[in-house]
Structure 1
Amino acid sequence: MSTLIKFFKIAAILSDGLHFFVWILWLAVCASGLLKLHDINPELAGWHLGVFYGLPAVMMALLVYDALRLWLADEKHRMLWLSMLIRTFSVIMLIVVAGILLGPAFRRIYYGDF
């Protein structure tokens, strides 16, 4: 295996670890009560709450799968493009979850409904 391929493999695994850490931190802050979710978004209930806590769980499972796949796969079956796609989805999901939480707050700020 060439040195460049080894570097990309290590970088991809570390990136998966970083994304996993961000999602764990996000869930820890939200579930611990440090962030008053219902003060920020009073309408956060039902399917919004399911998406809010469900997306991070799905994303963490995908990141663990990707890191294990990269670690165990041989050079022929590595598919680094799939790793980049999974991390792109991770960032998009983080933006979606933040939008679900902060959407009504941004609306109040924009329209001046304090």
Structure 2
Amino acid sequence: MIAAALPWLMEKLGGRGVSIALAFAAGMAALIAAYQMGGNAERKRGEAATLRAQVAVLKRDAKIAKDAADVARKIAEASEIAASGNAEKVHALEEELKRRPPADRGGLSPGDARRLRDIR
């Protein structure tokens, strides 16, 4: 519609029509560019907000993973301590059984069985 109106307007305005048409075209180009820049800026703000939300989720997930690793490390340390204590108890019982006469080595007394059950 504007393209159809420009030749008619230039014919009516004469020599000044060219300068008016150029000014009009430049103004329209400036308006279109400003509109596009505003749309781009708004889109970038939306993308930035989305990325900030994703970063927040990733930070939360990283903290959860770190906390889980810390808990697993503490459990492993506690298990190692308990296992070393149990190994000492088992070793002591083995040594005691080795010191017994050969005839008594084959079976466990009720006290020996209780000591084995108490090792956890």
Fold conserved (TM > 0.5)? no
Between structure 1 and structure 2, the one with the greater Rg is 2
User: RCO greater where, 1 or 2, for CA within 8 Å and sep 6 or more?
Assistant: 1
> Normalised by the size of structure 1, how large is the TM-score?
0.34
Structure with the bigger percentage of helix = 2
